[in-house]
Amino acid sequence: MKSILLILVTLILISCSEKENTKVLIQSPDKKIQVFFNVIDTEAFYHVKFDSIQVINRSRLGFEFENLPALKSNFKIAGLSKTSVNNSWQQVWGEKKIVVNNYNQAIIQLEEIDGLKRKLNITFKVFNDGLGFSYEIPKQKAIDSIYISNEITEFELSHDYSTWFIPANFDSYEALYQNKPASEIMSANTPITFESAKKDFYLSIHEANLTDYAGMTLKKQDTLKLNLQVDLVPWPNGVKVKAKAPMKTPWRTIQISNSAEKLIESSLILNLNEANKLKDVSWIKPTKYVGIWWGMHIGTHTWIQGKRHGATTDNMKEYIDFAAANNIKSVLAEGWNTGWEKWGQPKAFDFITPYDDFDLQEIADYANKKGVKLIGHHETGGDTKYYEKQMEKAFGLYKSLGIHMVKTGYAGAITPSGQYHHGQYMVNHYRKVVELAAKYKLVVDAHEPIKATGIRRTYPNMMTREGARGMEWNGWSDGNPPEHHVILPFTRILAGPMDYTPGVFDLLYENSPKRVVWNSNDKGTSRINTTLSKQLALFVVFYSPMQMASDLVKNYKSQPAFQFISDVPVNWEYTKVLNAKIGDFVTIARKDWDSDDWFLGAVTDENGRTLDVKLNFLDEGETYEAQIYKDAENSDWKTNPYAHQILKQKVTNKDNLSLKLAPGGGQAIRFKVVL
C-alpha cells in the first residue's frame, strides 16, 4: 500500500510540474495587464487580466488549413524567450510627436509532440495600454505552401460588456455603429469597443500591421455567447490566406484602459508596426484642403462633363484663389478625368486624359503661382487590374506637374470578380498603391479602403483614409445622427486617421436651391445633423493629417466662423483627452506641432450638456487668448443649427472653462499665446 501511495504522489508531482511548465506570464511594464499563455491538454490558450480582473477568459489559438492537417493541438512548449523594451520614437507627422514604446515580450515556440512535429511561434507584446500577439509559421520541412481555411483565434469575453460595433462586412465599413450587449453580437468589423458594467475598464479589439494577409472580422461562436472568433475575409474559392513558410500574421490587438479618455490616447497600434521605411520624407506634408467634391454629393454639380460639371478650369481657379487667401494649402478636384460617363463598365477610367473643360496643365501652373498644391484624384470603380496597369504612368504625370497628393477610390464591386475589398488580394493591392506612390513622392488618401492598422508608421505617405460612414452620407440620405460623432473617436479612429471631411456651413442646403436628387437613398430630407459650432469642433476631435473643409467655398465667404478653419492646424505635438463618455460626449485638446498654440474641440450627442474642463494642459507661465466658437443659448441641431457666438477671453493653465453644448452641438477654441 505504501508503495502504491508513493507512486501516486510521484505521479501527481510530475503532473503538477508538467502543467507548471506549460504556463507563461507576460505583464505590462506597470504590471496592471497580465497575459497568461497555457498549453492545456496539448491545446494553446491565452487569457488576460487587468487590475486583477479577468477581462478575456481562456481563448484558443491555432490554424486550420485547406492543404495540411490543422495546427491547433498536439502542442508542447519547445522554447521561450523574454525581452523588455523601453524607448521612444518620433513620428513624421501625427496626433503626437513623440511615441513611447515600452513593452514586455515573450516569444513562445510551440512544437507538435509527435507526428510531423511542426513548429508554430506565438509572440506576445504587452504594453501599459494593451497587448498584441502574432503567429509565425517558421520555415520547416513539413510546411511549404500554406492555404489557411480558418484562423482559430478567440476572444472569450469575461463579461457581457456594453459594446460599440458595426456588423461584419467584407466590402464596406460605412455603417452606423450599434450599441448592444456583447451577447447579442453575431459578427463585427474591427475595431470593436467594450465598456465594463461599472465603467472601470474599456477594451477595444483590432489588428495591427495588416500585411499580405486577409482582413480580420469577428463572428460569434454558435454555442458560446461571449466567444468571438476571428473570421478572415476569403478569396473567391473560400481560402482565407495564401502564403508560403516562413509566414507571419498581423498582430491581434486588445487595447485596455481604465477610462474612455485613455483609449483615444493609446499608441498600441502604431507601436506594433515596423519603423519608417522611407529614407526621404521631406515631401510628406500634412495639409488642409478644399475642393470640388461636396457639390456632386448634394446634387448641385456632376462628376460627368456637361452643363453642371463641377471640375472645370474656371471652378478650380476659384477654389485655388480662395485657398490662397485663407491659409488652405491644397485643392482637390473629383471628376476631372474622362471615364465617369462609363461608370460600371470594364476599363472605364482614364487617369491621364482630362475632360475638355479641365485644363490640367493650366490649373497646375495657376496653383503653383498662388502657392497652392493640387490633390490628384483616382476613382477606380473597383477595377483594380486596369488601375494597376495605369498607375505608373498616372503617378508619373502627377510628379511632372508637382502634385504630391492623390485621393483614391474603390466604389463598386472589385474586379477581378469575386474579390472582396477586405480580402488578401485587395490588402496587397492597397499596399502596391502606397509603395508605388512613395516612389513618385505621392501621399495617399484612400477611400473605400482597407481599414487602418498603423501602416502609416512604416509608410508615412499613407496619410489618411475613409473606412467609415463619413460626411458624404449627409448629402444624399438621412445622414449621420449626432451620436455618430461621439462614437467614432472610440471605434474607427482608434485604428488611425479618418478623412471624415467636416466643415459644412450650409447645414440645411439653403444656399443650394437647385439640387438634383441623384441617389436612391435621398428621400428629400437630407441635411447636416449638427450645429455649425460642432462642425468646427470636429476639426480637432476627428484626427486627420489631410483635413478637408468640405463645403462649397461660396458658403465660407463673409463667414467670421471660417476663421477657426483657417487657423486650425492638422499636425499635433501633443494630444490630451479631457473628458469622454462613449456615445455621449468627448473633449480633446491638441497642441500645434509648429507653434505654442493649443486647440480644443468638444462635441455632444443629441443631448445638450455642460462640460467643465481644467486648462492645466496649457503651458505653465503663459497667458493665452481663448478664441471661442460656441453654440448660442438657443442653438439646437434640429431647430436652430446656425446660431453661434464668437468670444475672446484671457486664460492661463490655472483657469477652468465651462463648455455649454447645445443638442447636437459643440465648441471649438483656439488658445493663442499672448506675446
Which residues does the annotation mark as catalytic? 472
Which residue bears the cell 475632360?
355
The dihedral through the CA atoms of 502, 507, 513, 514 has a sign that is positive
Provide the H-helix boundaries in 338-421.
360-370, 384-400
Which residue bears the cell 506570464?
25
Q: What is the distance between the alpha carbons of residues 456 and 273, in angstroms, rounded to a whole number? A: 9
The amino acid sitting at 247 is M
For residue 68, what is its C-alpha cell?
495540411
Q: What is the distance between the alpha carbons of residues 96 and 119, in angstroms, rounded to a whole number? A: 40
The answer to whether 418 touches 236, Cβ cutoff 8 Å, is: yes
The answer to whether 58 touches 38, Cβ cutoff 8 Å, is: yes
Cβ-based burial of 371 (10 A; exposed 0-12, middle 13-18, buried ≥19)? exposed
Q: Which residues sit opposite 83 in a β-bridge?
A: 105
Which residue bears the cell 443631448?
607
For residue 522, what is its C-alpha cell?
435621398
Residues 612-641 as b/e (b if ≥16 CB within 10 A, e otherwise) read ebebebbeeeeebebbbbbbbeebbbeebb
Compute the half-sphere exposure of residue 426: CA atoms within 13 Å on the CB side of its CA: 30
Q: Which residues sit opposite 231 in a β-bridge?
A: 217
Which value, in Å, is the radius of gyration of the alpha carbons in the chain? 26
What is the Cα 350 distance to its own chain's centre?
Answer: 30
Q: What is the distance between the alpha carbons of residues 539 and 253, in angstroms, rounded to a whole number? A: 28
